[in-house]
Amino acid sequence: MRYAETGFNLEVDLSRGNIEKVATDPRDTELYLGGLGTNAKILWDRVPPEVEPFSPENLLIFGAGLLCGTPATGCNRTIVSTISPQTRLMAFSMMGGFWAPELKYAGYDKVILRGKSPKLVYLWINNDTVEIRDAAHLKGKGAIETAELIKKELKQPKAQVAAIGMAGENKVYFASIEQGRSSASRGGIGAVMGDKNIKAVVVRGTKDINLARPEEFLGLCNEVLTYIKHRETNPIPGVMPILAGLGSPQEMKVHDEKWHTENFMWGNSRTRRKDFWNEDVEKEWTQTLEDSRTRLISCFNCPMKCGATISLPGLPTYMMKCFTKLTYTMGAFSNLEFGLRIAQKATEYGLDGFSAPQVMAFALELLENGILKKDDFQGMPEDNEGRFYWLLDRIVRREGIGNILANGTYWAAQEIGNGAEAYAHNNIKKIEQLPLKLSMLNPIYFLMYCTGEKINITQIEGQFPQAAFPTREEREEFVKDWIQVPDEKFKQYFLDWELRGENSIPFYPTVDMCCDIVDWQEQMHYIDDALGQCAGLSSFPLKPPYHIHNYPKFISSGAGIDMDEEKLTKAAKRYRTLVRAVNIRLGMRRKDEVPPEDHWKKRFPELEEKLLDAYYRMKGWNNDGIPTKESLQDLGLDYVAKEFVKRGILTESGDASAQPETEGRA
């Protein structure tokens, strides 16, 4: 018997309408765990770098994490992987909600979509009965609307639906896949779904998920719940409120937005408004949120209430979470009510809430600076908010200027030319980032921005405090119950870290310490993404209930795989390296690993080189960021080494990086 996982994937060829239930190899689970890990293995094996994102050969994989569907609190993530049209690298956006556990209960660990359907369809998975159904009547419908219509026509109120809106159908490069209260947004995976002509994947399951050593597993779950309660009543002192508790940032709960509105940038990630927050704004925004928020809500099997149901007069109800609360507001220099209103439309269209507002603000900046002309915006209203609604509609329909903007700021700037590139300034690897511009280089964040292959800072940071604490006493207090550290040395790193003087940034933490810290933070995210654990209870907040010391026990007692910290560390390193291998084969190199040029005012080129050199070395990559033959063999990834040599990415004799066959591709 397989434990925690079902042992089956659903393979769907949309071109031929063929559906197969395929048993998976339990050895792959031991090596790559599940979720992201096994997704990466499948992409490596089956999608060579010559495959275009919008081609039948590209795969779109919906992977449930290894522990999804077990009683492990907060373990509910679907990891969606494909080759992104925006970055032309591997995308592995994730969503919480209820979909992944439902898929497990239906008897599958993954749904693997290939080919391209000749007409718009949706996939209906009801335990062992799986069918491809016509979706002509759903064309152009909103993602949430679609989910409700499908549940009604199937008479299945308990089915879980992952759907695209108009943005996905029209292959907008930052289209999301929406699932009610959650979405997989980054990297344009919704566009790949649209290219495959599949409007939704619908699932209902009523089967069991088994545990290898049930009593032990439940004991661990109860410990996690107890620790969550402890952390609820003991927020971390000395850090800003959103970093003090567990969960995703509690954006739906809090009213005080002084920190975000005065520290993050407005418009096209340009303007800092240091005195924005005042009593009047607070009063108005508090009223807006109180009036529109009907309930704080959670994902499957999780007590954290990171989301909310939002009902605004005259608009359909929708669900929201996290920072999308402010992205449209700040992109448009508007107020919270506008932000919540336009987000309702954007959610139905199925758009990434980070990219969309920046793309629109970018377009207006180009207009103001004469790079785009008035003629390009014919029919656009005069008022500020009206312009954003107008642009949103053009983008998702790919009409006029919207057809160019729909490719995101990087590709749009390339196409527009005439200096537009300078306005696509907030990207890493061609994808729009959080609107942050700071003064002094932070060496830890430098490494994370450069090398994070999820290409999103919130998906690599978390375990180590963002800044030094002012006094030794406070630091000593912090490390007292810091049980999550993989090694005691991290406590010392933190104890000696000062706000000013010799032991302060950018030269402290030292290069080697930075490498350790980044490696640890990244590792926790990669473990979460294989297990399906929400980062909000694990890799994202300080002092989370899940960590490197209890995870091996969860895996052993849950999945029946013999696991300890060393083995888990190695497994995470293995599939993390495999993700990099997929991207290296697609042409990614050191030259691509740079933060937005204007992210920090004060840069330290020499230090930055040293940081990357040391970090690559520690990871087992050569100076160009390519995993070395030696490190690949050590991880059991000989097949990657072989392919690299075959393709001339590595040479037979060693690590000197040869000209990549696919250079220029990414």
Partner 1 sequence: MGDNKKTKTIKTIKIDVDKCNGCRACEVICSAFHAAPRYSSNNPARSRIRILRDPFRDIYVPVYAGEYTVAECAGRDKYTIDGKEYDECSFCRASCPSRDEFKEPDSGLPLKCDMCEGEEEPLCVKWCLVDALTIEEREEEVEDRKEQEDLEIGLESLATKFGMDKIMDAVARLSKKD
Contacting positions for partner 1 (CB under 8 A): 69-71, 73, 98, 105, 144, 148, 157, 180-181, 205-211, 214-215, 217-218, 225, 228-229, 294-303, 305, 309, 316-317, 319
Q: Which two tokens stand for residue 173?
A: 């490069």
Report the residue number, 148 or 643, with the smaller CB distance to partner 1. Answer: 148
Q: Is the dihedral of CA 625, 629, 631, 637 positive or negative?
A: positive
Report the residue number, 107 or 620, with the smaller CB distance to partner 1. Answer: 107
Of the candidates 114, 23, 65, which has an alpha carbon nearest to the alpha carbon of residue 537?
65
| Least distance CB 647 / partner 1 (angstroms) | 44
| Least distance CB 251 / partner 1 (angstroms) | 16
Q: For the chain, give the longest Cα–Cα distance.
A: 68
Report the residue number, 105 or 520, with the smaller CB distance to partner 1. Answer: 105
Please state, in angstroms and as integers, the Cα–Cα distance from residue 85 to each residue in 68, 140, 213, 430, following that order.
28, 21, 43, 10
The per-residue DSSP string of 595-644 comes to: --TTSEEE--HHHHHHHHHHHHHHHTB-TTSPBPHHHHHHTT-HHHHHHH
Report the residue number, 229 or 601, with the smaller CB distance to partner 1. Answer: 229
Report the residue number, 46 or 207, with the smaller CB distance to partner 1. Answer: 207
Say if residues 226 and 218 touch (Cβ distance below 8 Å): no
| Least distance CB 216 / partner 1 (angstroms) | 9
Rounded Cα distance, 192 and 666, in Å = 17
Q: Which two tokens stand for residue 308?
A: 């909310």
* Beta-carbon contacts of residue 500 (< 8 Å; ≥ 6 apart): none
Report the residue number, 130 or 450, with the smaller CB distance to partner 1. Answer: 130
| Least distance CB 253 / partner 1 (angstroms) | 12
Report the residue number, 229 or 472, with the smaller CB distance to partner 1. Answer: 229
| Least distance CB 215 / partner 1 (angstroms) | 6
259 CB burial (10 A radius; 0-12, 13-18, 19+) = middle
Report the residue number, 55 or 309, with the smaller CB distance to partner 1. Answer: 309
| Least distance CB 157 / partner 1 (angstroms) | 7
* Beta-carbon contacts of residue 218 (< 8 Å; ≥ 6 apart): 71
239 CB burial (10 A radius; 0-12, 13-18, 19+) = middle
Report the residue number, 69 or 541, with the smaller CB distance to partner 1. Answer: 69
| Least distance CB 105 / partner 1 (angstroms) | 6
| Least distance CB 498 / partner 1 (angstroms) | 38
* Beta-carbon contacts of residue 441 (< 8 Å; ≥ 6 apart): 505, 506, 600, 602, 603, 604, 607, 608
Q: What are phi and psi of 320, to 5 degrees?
A: -140, 155
| Least distance CB 595 / partner 1 (angstroms) | 37
Of the candidates 368, 336, 352, which has an alpha carbon nearest to the alpha carbon of residue 173?
352
Angle between helix 324-331 and 336-349 (nearest 10): 110
